[in-house]
Amino acid sequence: MLSNTKTLIIPISSLFFAIAFLAIGYGMILTFVGVYLKDSGTSDFIIGLINSAFFLGAILSSIFSQKIISAVGHIRSFATFASCMVMAFLLHAIFFNEALWAVLRLVSGFSFYGLLIILESWLNEKSDESHRGKILAIYTIIFYLSTALGQQFLNIEEDFKYAIFIIGSILVLISVVFISMTKIKEPILKPFEKVSFPKLYSIVPLALTGSFIGGFFVGGFFTMIPVYLIDKFSSYEVVSLFMTVTLLGGLVSQWPIGMLSDKYGRRKLIAFSGFFTSFVALLFILLPQSSIVFYMLGFSLGMSIFCLYALSLARANDVLDTNKDIVEISRALLFSYGLGSFVAPIAIGVGLEFYGEFIFAIFAILGLFLGFYSLSRKRVADDDMSVFVNVPVASSAILPEFDPRQDEEWVKEHQ
C-alpha cells in the first residue's frame, strides 16, 4: 500500500510542492491586505471593494486565462501568471493607494486562479480513474494546511509588516522553480462550454444556492473577518491564530461531513450546516468577546462553512441522471461560488459601516435561510445518491474534470 502511494506521489511531487508554496502566499496576503488597510484607517466599505477585486479577478480568470494557457503552453503561462502576481505583491509594498491596490488585487486574483488552472489540469493529466480520488484528497489536505500555515506570517514584527508582500513574492517564485524543472507532459485544455444559469437553477436549485452562499461565507471569512478581528482585539496574533484554527476546523470536518452526507443525504447536511453556521454566528455576537471564545467558535465555524461547496457539488451529482453534464454544471457551481465570494466583501463592507457585528448577523441570516430552503427541497432516494468528494478551499474551473465521480465504477466502489 505504501509502495503504491509512493509510486503515485513521487512523479507529481513537484506539483504538490508548487501548490503548497502558492497556497501559503495566497492565504497570507489575502488575510493581510484587509488587516493592513484597517490599521491604515481605510473605511470598511473601501476595504470590501478592494478585497472583492481579488474575486473579480478570479471570475475573469475562469473566463479568459484558458485562452492564454492554450496559446503559449503551461510552463510559459505559469511563469507569466506568477510574474504578474509577484509584481502585484511588490507594488503593494511600494505604493499605498486604495485605487491602485484594487487593481493589484484584481491582477493577483486573475493570476492566482490562472495558476490553479495550470496546476489542476496537470494533476488531472497525471491521474487516471483508479487513483484520481486519492490525488484529490492529498491536494485538499495540502491546500488547507498550507493556507493555514500562511496565516502565521501575520505575526511578523510591526516594523516589518511590508515584508509580508516580499515573503509572499518569494513563495510564489519558489513554486515557479518547481514547475520550471518539471518533466510532466503538458495537457491540452478543452474549451469551457457555457451553461445557462436559469436552466441550471431549474435542474439543481439547492446546489446552486448552496454554492453561492458557501462562496459568500468563505469570501467573507478570508477578507472581512480579519478586518473585524483587528478592530476588536488590535492584535495580529489573534487574527492569525483565529484564521488558522478556523481553517483547521474546515479540514477536520471534510471527512466526517462527507460520511454523514453519504448516509443521511446532502439535503439534511446542507440544512444542518446552514443552521449550525447561523447558531455559531449568533454566539459570536452574544458570548463574551474574548480571544479564547473566538478561537473555539472559529473552529466550529470552519467545520460548517468550508463544506458547503462540496455538499452542493454532491447534491448536483445526486440529482443528475447521468455524468455527461456534470463537468459543465460543476463549473457553473464553481462560478456561483466565486460570485458569492465576490459579493461578500462588498455587502459586509457596507454593513459594517452601520453595525459593528454585521458580518455575523448576515452569516446568521444566510445560514438560517439556507437551512430552511434546503429542508424545503425534494429528498433524493438513497439508490440515486452519488458519493461525497472533498475539495480544496480554493479551486479553478479545471477541478470538475478532476472529480472522480465521473467514473461510475469508482462511485459504485465507494458507495
Q: What is the pLDDT of residue 297?
A: 96
Q: What is the pLDDT of residue 54?
A: 95
Residue 407 has pLDDT above 70, yes or no: no
Is residue 224 within 8 Å of 359, Cβ to Cβ?
yes
Q: How many residues does the chain have?
A: 415
Least confident of 107-116, 170-179, 290-299, 312-321: 312-321
Residue 292 has pLDDT above 80, yes or no: yes
Task: Round the average pLDDT of the chain to a whole number and report it.
Answer: 86
pLDDT in tens, 28-68: 999 999 999 998 899 999 999 999 999 999 999 988 888 88
Q: What is the pLDDT of residue 1?
A: 46
Q: Report d(CA 281, CA 41) in Å as an integer.
A: 26
Provide mean pLDDT across the span 287-311. Answer: 93
More confident residue, 204 or 88: 88
Residue 330 has pLDDT above 70, yes or no: yes
Q: What is the pLDDT of residue 300?
A: 96
Provide mean pLDDT across the span 12-21. Answer: 89
Q: Report d(CA 388, CA 313) in Å as an integer.
A: 8
The pLDDT confidence band at residue 286, using thresholds 50, 70 and 90, is very high
Q: What is the pLDDT of residue 2?
A: 47
Q: Report d(CA 168, CA 85) in Å as an integer.
A: 9
Residue 179 has pLDDT above 80, yes or no: yes
Residue 126 to residues 8, 15, 185, 402, Cα–Cα distance (Å): 9, 10, 9, 10
Residue 348 to residues 49, 345, 378, Cα–Cα distance (Å): 10, 5, 32
Provide mean pLDDT across the span 361-367. Answer: 97
Buried b (16+ CB within 10 A) or exposed e, 235-267: ebebbbbbbbbbbbbbbebbeebbebbbeebbb
Q: Report d(CA 148, CA 364) in Å as an integer.
A: 24
Provide mean pLDDT across the span 186-206. Answer: 70
The C-alpha cell 508582500 sits at 165
The C-alpha cell 513521487 sits at 10
More confident residue, 255 or 48: 48
Least confident of 147-156, 289-298, 311-320, 396-405: 396-405
The pLDDT confidence band at residue 366, using thresholds 50, 70 and 90, is very high
pLDDT in tens, 197-237: 666 677 688 989 999 999 999 999 999 999 999 999 988 99
Is residue 382 within 8 Å of 318, Cβ to Cβ?
no
Contacts of 258-264 with C-beta under 8 Å, sequence gap 24+, read 258/307, 258/310, 258/388, 258/389, 258/390, 259/388, 261/311, 261/314, 261/388, 262/385, 262/387, 262/388, 262/415
The C-alpha cell 492565504 sits at 27
Q: What is the pLDDT of residue 248?
A: 96
Provide mean pLDDT across the span 348-372. Answer: 95
Is residue 248 within 8 Å of 300, Cβ to Cβ?
no
Q: What is the pLDDT of residue 103?
A: 96
The C-alpha cell 479568459 sits at 64
Least confident of 51-60, 62-71, 99-108, 368-377: 62-71
Instruction: Quote the pTM value.
Output: 0.92
Provide mean pLDDT across the span 79-100. Answer: 93
Q: What is the pLDDT of residue 209?
A: 93
Residue spans of the domains in the chain: they are 11-414
Provide mean pLDDT across the span 166-182. Answer: 90
Fold of 11-414: Growth Hormone; Chain: A; (1.20.1250)
Those residues with Cβ within 8 angstroms of residue 413's Cβ, 6 or more apart along the chain or in another chain: none
